[in-house]
Amino acid sequence: EAGVVQSPRYKIIEKKQPVAFWCNPISGHNTLYWYRQNLGQGPELLIRYENEEAVDDSQLPKDRFSAERLKGVDSTLKIQPAELGDSAVYLCASSLDGGTYEQYFGPGTRLTVT
């Protein structure tokens, strides 16, 4: 069974430029998560989707970050414009449902903003 797929794996952009990350969850998983992981820290939740609905986006900086999960499968996370402090690894995870169902993480996208 294929795991969570993310692309690109690495992205280097200049500040003020836009960037987008793509995630394909495990087939059949209704819940999709985007996390940000700063160097030396654990992942922090940005947004959680139940099917197409964003049910928890309280940690998403909405002035510059946006996300969508059209058709309840793939998801994209966008930053516009990027700032130096956005440099981090962006992880996507999926689970059968929310709550205590096991979350499966993708390999992440490492973003460097210069």
Interaction between residue 78 and other proteins (CB under 8 A): no
Q: Near other proteins by CB under 8 A, which window of 19-27, 32-40, 70-78, 79-87? A: 32-40
**CA dist., res. 91 & res. 100, Å (int):** 19
Interaction between residue 42 and other proteins (CB under 8 A): yes
- Are 67 and 75 a contacting pair, CB within 8 Å? yes
Total interface residues for other proteins by CB under 8 A: 25
User: Which C-beta is closer to other proteins: that of 41 or that of 70?
Assistant: 41
